[in-house]
Amino acid sequence: MELSPLTLNRLANSALGAGPAAGGIAYVAQADDALSRLAACFAVIGFAVIAVRGYRLGVRCQHATLVIRGYLRTRVIARESITEITDFPAVRWTTRSGRQRWTPITAFMTSSGEISATRLHKERVLGKLQRWARW
């Protein structure tokens, strides 16, 4: 089961990388020396990665694992090690060695300025995720 934000949210999430990447491209075009252009190119690549990952934020519930895609990393958690899906939203889980861990689910975090349709979608998705974890 693939759980992702609404398309409008996905575009907004990718804007966090796309906007600075566009600024970096403009800087590369007008930069005077090679070192500045090289640094700007690396920044553009980094922001482009954040833009793509921002669009792909979400959760995939597989039979035995939960895959959480965030801005900077993807976390794979074994289903049997999940102890709770919090309302934050985050996953509380235990490693094989017994260490308690906490992984936020960035894709479904709410904010006070959201429209009600977006908030309702995130609440429904979080409910599905909580039901999947209890199964």
pLDDT of residue 135: 72
Question: Side by side, which strands form the sheet with 90-94?
Answer: 82-86, 90-94, 100-104
Cβ distance 81 to 66 under 8 Å? no
Token code pair at residue 6: 């609404």
CA distances from 88 to 85, 97, 110 (A): 8, 25, 8
pLDDT at 74 over 90: yes
pTM as predicted:
0.88
Please count the other Cβ atoms lying within 10 Å of the Cβ belonging to residue 127: 11
pLDDT tens per residue, range 85-109: 999 999 999 999 999 999 999 999 9
- Amino acid 63 reads H
pLDDT at 51 over 80: yes
Instruction: Give the residue numbers spanning the domain of 39.
Output: 2-134
Distance CA 131, CA 135 (A): 6
pLDDT of residue 48: 97
Token code pair at residue 115: 């429209």
Q: Which own/partner pairs from 129-134 qualify as long-range (CB within 8 Å, at least 24 positions apart)?
A: 129/3, 129/59, 129/61, 129/85, 129/89, 129/105, 130/85, 132/1, 132/61, 132/66, 133/66, 133/79, 133/82, 133/84, 133/85, 133/91
If one counts the domains in the chain, the total is: 1
